[in-house]
Amino acid sequence: MGLFDFLTGGKKNKQNGRSQFAFADSSSIDPEEKQFYQPDDYYTFYAFPGTDSAHKVITFEERKKISFPSKRGLYVAEILLLDYCRQGKYPKPTAGYPGLWWFEYGIRDVGHALESLRNRGFIQWAPKANSLHTLKVDELKRMLETVGLPANGKKEELIERVAANIPEQRLVIPGYVAKYELTDLGHNELEENGYVPYMHKHSEKTTDDDTFGEPFNVWSINRLFRGETPSDWRTVVGQIEKHKFGVDTASSSHVDGSKESKSRASRISERDEMRAFLASKKREIQEGIHTPGDGFAEESKGMMLRSKGDDKAALVMFYISIGKRFDAPALYRETAILLRKYGMLEEELKVVEAGIRNSGPSDDLLHRKERVTELIEKNKGKK
């Protein structure tokens, strides 16, 4: 029996007049989703065929037996799926589901895995209004004119007007594909287990083969935590990086996993600049708070601005919405994330406390209050 016969159990199929190794079953995949996958014979039971690094694919069910679930019962692959949903890519991504879900994580039917996450409350369908940015200005204007609303203003203003006045069921967006977004539970899960997307993208990650030393990948880090909440994962991974590569990048990365190379002085400068900006907008924020509306329009505009990378303008809108005591937990969560990005911990604590008062004590907000309080105390100890 040759190498690949051994790895696949010797199973072969005849296809197109040539010998093919057995491929993973696709019978559970929704016919409407088939187009988002490669042809079935792409999903073989071995990875990197024809090279010295060939290895047998470990299926998701097999991984569950040799890895540790999180405190809430999610496994590594499921946590990584949350990261892709956070980015608004799934289901039915434009470029299709990449082969990594099978070859690295053993998931053949991605759509089914997503449904499981939705059924357990980690993701939900995003509002249709989130896709309004894909429309052209003329399309938005026609949509407003149809219902007798003003069609003047910039694109951002048109989107805000449509979202605030036209019910979800009446929105017609050409080519619209519903996408998932994270629930509070999903956000909390991903934040606590940020080592998963971090290690998935790591440039120095290895395979499970320990021939050339101790493996360094998401599975080896998962075994270190053994299902416990890895609140200090950056420190743990950073120490391993320091030992292996001479540099700790995990401890100096943003919340979303992107690398942070700025000095402490630079971060402090950014924080002070943001504080000065918000102080200069104090009157605008106060006037906005006293305008008509419950804060929904400002929250929606803030979310849109944040997605475009305009953190300053987004925070202005968020603060107006908070001042109106809008009761959506997502408003306080997204504001807290932005404030954490700029090291504005005291401001973050105030926002989280406002969220608990205005929208109720959700698990996510209570967890954030506990965590930011710890960080504030830790920083005081450094002074």
**Six-digit token string for 216:** 């360094």
Q: Which of 80-84, 107-111, 126-130, 254-258 has the lowest mean pLDDT?
A: 254-258
C-alpha gyration radius of the chain: 24
Q: What is the pLDDT of residue 7?
A: 28
For residue 292, the 8-state DSSP code is S
Question: 64 forms bridges with which residues in the sheet?
Answer: none
List pLDDT tens digits, range 87-97: 888 999 988 99
Inter-axis angle of helices 76-86 and 184-192, nearest 10:
120
Residue 238 lies in a domain: no
Q: 54 and 141 in one domain?
A: no
Of the candidates 177, 212, 241, which is a domain's last residue? Answer: 177
Q: Which residue has the higher pLDDT, 306 or 14?
A: 306
Residue 368 lies in a domain: yes
Residue 94 lies in a domain: yes
The domain total for the chain is 3
SS3 335: helix
Of the candidates 193, 219, 238, which is a domain's last residue? Answer: 193
Q: 118 and 144 in one domain?
A: no
Tell me: cis bond preceding 69? Omega within 30 of 0 counts: no
The answer to whether 77 touches 107, Cβ cutoff 8 Å, is: yes
Residue 374 lies in a domain: yes
> Does position 19 have pLDDT exceeding 60, yes or no?
no
Q: What is the pLDDT of residue 269?
A: 79
List pLDDT tens digits, range 144-183: 988 889 998 888 888 888 888 888 878 888 777 889 999 9
Exposure of 129 in the CB half-sphere (CA atoms within 13 A): 21
Q: 145 and 115 in one domain?
A: no
**pLDDT (mean) for 363-377:** 84
Of the candidates 135, 162, 193, which is a domain's last residue? Answer: 193
Dihedral sign from CA coordinates of 83, 87, 93, 99: negative
- Per-residue HEC secondary structure of 254-316 comes to CCCCCECCCCHHHHHHHHHHHHHHHHHCHHHHHHHHCCCCCCHHHHHHHHHHHHCCCHHHHHH
Give the model's confidence band at 364: pLDDT under 50 very low, under 70 low, under 90 confident, else very high: confident
Residue 147 lies in a domain: yes
Q: 134 and 116 in one domain?
A: no
Q: What is the pLDDT of residue 147?
A: 87
Residues spanned by the domain of 91: 3-124+181-193
SS3 261: coil
Q: Which of 36-45, 181-190, 201-210 has the lowest mean pLDDT?
A: 201-210
Residue 287 lies in a domain: yes
List pLDDT tens digits, range 46-69: 765 554 456 789 999 999 999 999
Q: Which range among 22-26, 159-163, 256-260, 320-324 has the greatest average pLDDT?
A: 320-324
